[in-house]
Amino acid sequence: MTKLRGWKSPIAVLLGLTLLLGLTSVATAADTPEQIKEVRELLLNYHYGNPSERSLAINDIDQMIATLDDPYTEFYDEKEWKAFNSVLEKTFVGIGIVMREDKGSVYVDEVLEGSPAEAVGIAAGDLLTATGGKSLQGKTTAEIQQLLLGEEGTKVSLTVTRGGKKLSFIIVRKQIHLNAVTSSMLGDGIGYLALSGFTSDAATEVKKQLAELEKNGMKSLVFDLRDNGGGYVDTAQKIAGLFLENGVLAYMRDRDNNDEALAVTGTRKSYPLVVLVNGNSASASELLAGALQDYRAASLVGMRTYGKGVVQSIVALKSGGVLKLTIRQYLTPKEHKVDKVGLTPDVVVEDPASQLVKAYRMVGGHKVTITAKNDIVTMGDVRMAEPSAAFKNDKGVWYVNIRMGASVAGADLAYDADRHVFKLTKGTEARTLPSDDSHLVVKNGRTLVEVDFLKQWYPGLKYSVKDETLKLSSAG
């Protein structure tokens, strides 16, 4: 916790989440004169955009904030703040299942450990059929989620189909905390650690799981920050200290162009480190990844990041409610701007599975095995959504996403848009494939290649099929 100069309310310095998660402030009651005055004073004194008194001479908080042209500054009433804070800390009230859609139906993809769903016997693979006596046929995962959420301690009925039989359950909703940190060993001494949010306890958990990986013989690490929308600055600062020696995490620049160094004290790891990022890696994720990249403590693999390089503070108002306001911009240790620019990876790779395979090989991994089924790709214990990753045509021929297939085979893929040709390069060997080749198909906007054809080019590539699941492996 920190405080704004001259302000006595508690402040938490925050990076991220609002745009990525679609949270917005919706007024449920008229703003009081005291709230309007307090918000106006905060914006005048601290907002990064340095607004004028004239522009804020509006007796409505939402309209006042709208003049800032700042999507990250928001006012919350008590209920809205509770909802936002729940997202920030990854807590929600529900039954504890992860869902997936397949051909218009919604299935249970995962049952969270210790959840109400697990307690009553809901299982992965169950088809969601009805809730509250209403059919779920044709409903999306988002629509079903809204039906299953509710107040803690309330009951919800859920009917599923399993093995052709319908099973009905009564489930009591409870508060569930999602783990922001997960880790596993991928093989060849490669550790994998994923951080989905910079929650208040994430630094402690990262340190704990990192030590466990090291204890299990980890020789190098893939650190996954994909789809991480941000969180607390001090959490990013603590995590940076696990990988960097004394230095600067970032420079915080105020509206008067004064810079303040955000210091880091820690120990640099002796083993190789690759950080995975994508277009949803934002704010605190960019803060951490940018520092690791600038100090050459890690290489970034994936796609250009979101580009949210401004910092918010959370102010609990004396008059009621909470204001989240933008107070600073941040620059990387080498003073690169992040806001509306993002970070460019050292190695640009599209598609989740290809990104992980590339990172794994960059830190010394050799043999790769992945499976693909129902738009879900699995490598070790890591599961990734990848639409049209693989499919079987009506003649029984299997196809795989050309980028993913090439990555497993150990080849780099490039596309020449002028010549309409794919180029696959492995070592000194380069092969080309026209985009209209008969061994290629396009499905949902993605190009897939016939697995048997790819195997002819790369004999080390092996595959098998069981229960409509495609398994690909290669020593690279």
The 10s digit of each residue's pLDDT in 335-385 is 999 999 999 999 999 999 999 999 999 999 999 999 998 778 999 999 988
Q: What is the pLDDT of residues 314-343, one digit of tens each?
A: 999 999 999 999 999 999 999 999 999 999
pTM of the model: 0.86
Q: Largest Cα–Cα distance in the chain?
A: 74
Question: Is residue 302 located within the same domain as residue 254?
Answer: yes
What does the mean pLDDT of the chain come to? Answer: 90
Q: What is the pLDDT of residues 209-253, one digit of tens each?
A: 999 999 999 999 999 999 999 999 999 999 999 999 989 999 999
Q: Which residue out of 139, 308, 324, 358 is catalytically annotated?
A: 308
Question: Is residue 197 located within the same domain as residue 266?
Answer: yes
User: Is 422 a member of any domain?
Assistant: yes
168 has catalytic annotation: no
User: Is 50 a member of any domain?
Assistant: no
pLDDT(204) > 70:
yes
Question: Is residue 157 located within the same domain as residue 224?
Answer: no
Q: Residue 422's beta-bridge partner residues?
A: 415, 433
Question: Is residue 269 located within the same domain as residue 400?
Answer: no
82 has catalytic annotation: no
Task: Report how many domains make up the chain.
Answer: 3
Question: Is residue 149 located within the same domain as residue 219?
Answer: no
Edge-first strand order for the sheet with 368-373 is 382-385, 376-379, 368-373, 469-474, 462-466
Question: Is residue 167 located within the same domain as residue 224?
Answer: no
Q: Which residue out of 294, 351, 354, 474 is catalytically annotated?
A: 294
User: Is 31 a member of any domain?
Assistant: no
Residue 29, pLDDT score = 61
Cβ partners under 8 Å of residue 396, min gap 6? none
Q: What's the Cα-to-Cα distance from 151 to each of 98, 146, 173, rounded to whole Å?
A: 19, 12, 7
Per-residue burial over 2-37, b = 16 or more CB atoms within 10 Å of its CB, e = otherwise: eebeeeebebbbbbbbbbbeebebeeeeebeeebbe
User: Is 238 a member of any domain?
Assistant: yes
Closest CA to 390 of 455, 347, 441: 441
Residue 42, pLDDT score = 96
pLDDT(180) > 70:
yes
Residue 8, pLDDT score = 29
Question: Is residue 139 located within the same domain as residue 193?
Answer: no
Distance of alpha carbon 2 from alpha carbon 16, whole angstroms: 17
Closest CA to 327 of 35, 6, 92: 6
For residue 191, the enclosing domain spans 181-310+335-348
Q: What's the Cα-to-Cα distance from 341 to each of 65, 283, 338, rounded to whole Å?
A: 24, 12, 5
Q: Strand ranges (DSSP E) for 17-122? A: 74-76, 91-94, 97-102, 105-111
Q: What is the pLDDT of residues 277-317, one digit of tens each?
A: 999 999 999 999 999 999 999 999 999 999 999 999 999 99
Per-residue burial over 288-318, b = 16 or more CB atoms within 10 Å of its CB, e = otherwise: bbbbbbbbebbbbbbbbbbbbbbbbbbbebe
User: Is 78 a member of any domain?
Assistant: no
Cβ partners under 8 Å of residue 209, min gap 6? 181, 182, 183, 193
Ramachandran angles phi, psi of 220, nearest 5°? -160, 165
Distance of alpha carbon 215 from alpha carbon 342, whole angstroms: 35
Instruction: Give the mean model confidence (pLDDT) for residues 197-202.
Output: 93
Domain limit, last residue, from 118, 148, 176:
176
Q: Which residue out of 115, 220, 283, 313 is catalytically annotated?
A: 283
283 has catalytic annotation: yes
Residue 445, pLDDT score = 87
Pairing of strands 299-302, 347-348: parallel
% the chain with pLDDT above 90: 75
pLDDT(13) > 80:
no
Distance of alpha carbon 72 from alpha carbon 311, whole angstroms: 9
